[in-house]
A = this chain, B = another copy of it.
């Protein structure tokens, strides 16, 4: 296993940082590393907002309900972005709305922003920085759009905090390889649920050890809890207002 793969395997989310900010050259290097990820047909359908204004960071931390959104080395917000494509189309006398409104484009913007973000995460960790994705910004996507003045044909996907770690973080075991990887065909056989049960035992042990027996939990229980939980239903109308998912 080479050093890069070792680094990927050692990933853990960091949720506590020193208040030392990333310097501008580091931010620029990280964003450029992000930009070199693959992009669907060269469309580069994303933008990145670096949030340094303490008031905006505070507002965003209230939305994401986590302290580390305010206190970190740098806060990035990844935005799926077809605004530039729309302006270029307008200049060419074309209405881009049907194009951008197609479900395909919602996928493309989401994928492009995600690939860039993961490159940024890998680059940051290679420098000894810690990162954590902040999906919690989708708790109030409309408010994030307002705070960051995001135009039509864009939508904020998630945040990412980066910085100098003030905790170690811990690595969580993933679903079994055989459960996630199939050859040629997706197969649900007798092993499928058994693999989840084996995994549940590992995860239960992880929580038991980390909390001296206090936390009794499995992956399955967590997942069923999520199905019962917050669906973030207002995202649907928000992305539609921004010009997405309007296909008839």
| Residues of B close to A172: CB separation below 8 A | 42
The answer to whether A151 and B51 touch across the interface, beta carbons within 8 angstroms, is: no
The answer to whether B231 and A49 touch across the interface, beta carbons within 8 angstroms, is: no
The answer to whether B47 and A180 touch across the interface, beta carbons within 8 angstroms, is: yes
The answer to whether B31 and A5 touch across the interface, beta carbons within 8 angstroms, is: no
| Residues of B close to A48: CB separation below 8 A | 180-182
The answer to whether A46 and B180 touch across the interface, beta carbons within 8 angstroms, is: yes
A107 lies within 8 A of chain B by Cβ: yes
| Residues of B close to A204: CB separation below 8 A | none
A85 lies within 8 A of chain B by Cβ: yes
A202 lies within 8 A of chain B by Cβ: no
A227 lies within 8 A of chain B by Cβ: yes
Interface of A is mostly: helix
How many copies of the shown chain assemble into the complex? 2
Among A64-72, A87-95, A208-216, which stretch is in contact with chain B? A87-95
Answer whether A38 and B175 are a contact pair too, CB < 8 Å, given A49-B185, A111-B157.
no
The answer to whether A49 and B184 touch across the interface, beta carbons within 8 angstroms, is: yes
Please, which residue of chain B has its CB at the minimum distance from the CB of A99? B227
| Residues of B close to A32: CB separation below 8 A | 9, 174, 177
| Residues of B close to A220: CB separation below 8 A | 88
Given contacts A11-B36, A40-B133, 17 further A-B contacts (CB under 8 A): A28-B177, A49-B182, A51-B184, A56-B184, A85-B227, A88-B196, A89-B227, A94-B224, A94-B227, A102-B231, A102-B233, A104-B138, A104-B233, A107-B157, A107-B235, A118-B122, A148-B184
